[in-house]
Structure 1
């Protein structure tokens, strides 16, 4: 048996399985976790899982693909934190559209402090729907996140006050559209109600017990949760949008990678993150976001960045599907 990280060495295959498990912590729309991993002796394949798609909310698979891109980034950092150099090929087979990416270990790399910080951040990362406190996000923090997104070919723009006002309107329009669409309501109820799939969806402890009193409204899940909102507002929050020049599956996958990278770096910075995907889920508000961006690109997701109230306990965590349900492992020759 060779001692290099080649196909004859079982270490990469074991690392692929560990990376697939770590990727399960990635964020996804309504916590649907719409991915499936295939662990092979010589590679790790990422596939879209249409059984956890949202055809009413996400008919084009836009947010499904963004979610899978976030899982892809989680797997990448897990492999690098294990000391593996990794080659990532996205959409490698046009004849197999569900195959979103293939990761291949190509050798060894030193384990850097940054790699370890990101893996630790992946364990801590969560969506925080509570209002933020009156502590501003610094320009240096935003610039660091901009550079993080740029590494994936995705732009990060900080919305100015006038653009935040326009965002308020866009979010309101998106919420009104969702409230008027039975398919949206049914899907939301399925993933937030008592009959949500085991290991997925949004439990009551991550849904606010009342609508927060913020300028930019949050998604209305149609149900009251048990997450205590408390006081506070979003006056000191910073709103950023991830965007790019393309609006196709390759772009959405990159957007998901950038989303994960930005979110994890923000977690390292001590910032709380709340995504606003509803403004890109319908044609009308996507067009509004393009106008906010002065037609410079297509919005992929909006993020609220802020500082959580240290007096409040951490919110609950969303559940995760078991490894066996999201991953298929080939015979690794053990």
Structure 2
């Protein structure tokens, strides 16, 4: 097994995942890495269909791809290569050697810097339009879409998040999963709506396992790009965990597509 592949698997441990479950495992097969979903780390009540588990694995896949590109190799990826083994999500090998570009290295250096930032964003510091354009391009490069919610639509997002939060607080099985993996209930949603925060929806054309995997790769790409742009970011997965909340978010997207995750971003305050 080539050292670059092993290093890529190690770098993938830094990928974001639902409640930090890291629901994946890597296997070495010949001269390739295989990415498997780990159903034992799926959240059966929050994520009954495995959408967020697969999305989390997609983020790990993107991290591994980025690590290989930064090491000077073209990553060769087969997504969902074996229909008889649905937990096998991707196989990665090494393609041709090629020097890593400046933007690739800049993004790769953000792997250990990326973190969830739930602090309020100052209302006077708005995310520049050019930065939002760059974030959209990062999603499009992963065959996904990124919507920036209009100011008037944030109230509907708040309503969806509050409904999902209330359901989680009153569902004993969901509360137990949150306690097990997060150690506490989730914080109250959208406390700083109306501040300098922007709300981004990662969306796909369809809504199956292939789309969930792509959405995870896009989430990783957008979040790392946001980190490179010195933005703070945090996910709002609860608005896609509850069907009613997800339907409300879907109604805000024009043209309509399938919402997979919401990211809250803003100009990060100094540490």
User: Do the two structures share a fold, i.e. TM-score over 0.5?
Assistant: yes
Deviation at 1:22, TM superposition (A): 0.2
1:303 equivalent in structure 2: 263
Residue of structure 2 aligned with 1:236, choices 183, 191, 196 = 196
Deviation at 1:295, TM superposition (A): 6.6
2:154 equivalent in structure 1: 164
Residue of structure 1 aligned with 2:179, choices 160, 174, 189 = 189
1: CA distance, partners of 2:18 / 2:249: 19
2: CA distance, partners of 1:259 / 1:133: 24
**CA distance 1:56–1:239, change in 2 (3 Å):** same
1:214 equivalent in structure 2: 191
Deviation at 1:129, TM superposition (A): 1.2
1:130/1:212 contact within 8 Å kept:
no
Deviation at 1:262, TM superposition (A): 0.5
Residue of structure 1 aligned with 2:35, choices 42, 46, 67 = 46
Structure 1 segment 1-334 matched on structure 2, within 5 A = 13-134=2-123, 135-193=125-183, 214-216=191-193, 235-294=195-254, 296-310=256-270, 313=271
The DSSP-based 3-state class of the residue aligned with 1:110 is coil
1: CA distance, partners of 2:46 / 2:54: 13
Deviation at 1:294, TM superposition (A): 4.7
Structure number with larger C-alpha Rg: 1
**CA distance 1:282–1:37, change in 2 (3 Å):** same
2: CA distance, partners of 1:119 / 1:305: 19
| Runs of at least 5 residues in structure 2 that lack an aligned partner in the other structure | none
What is the count of residue pairs matched by the alignment? Answer: 270
Normalising by structure 1, we get a TM-score of 0.77
1:275/1:301 contact within 8 Å kept:
yes
Deviation at 1:291, TM superposition (A): 1.1
**CA distance 1:213–1:23, change in 2 (3 Å):** closer
**CA distance 1:14–1:213, change in 2 (3 Å):** closer
1:131/1:212 contact within 8 Å kept:
no
2: CA distance, partners of 1:84 / 1:34: 26
Deviation at 1:278, TM superposition (A): 0.5
Deviation at 1:26, TM superposition (A): 0.2
Deviation at 1:267, TM superposition (A): 0.4
1:57/1:281 contact within 8 Å kept:
yes
**CA distance 1:39–1:141, change in 2 (3 Å):** same
2:139/2:146 contact within 8 Å kept:
yes
Cα RMSD (Å):
1.8
Deviation at 1:45, TM superposition (A): 0.4
Normalising by structure 2, we get a TM-score of 0.95
| Runs of at least 5 residues in structure 1 that lack an aligned partner in the other structure | 1-9, 194-201, 217-233, 314-334
The DSSP-based 3-state class of the residue aligned with 1:241 is strand
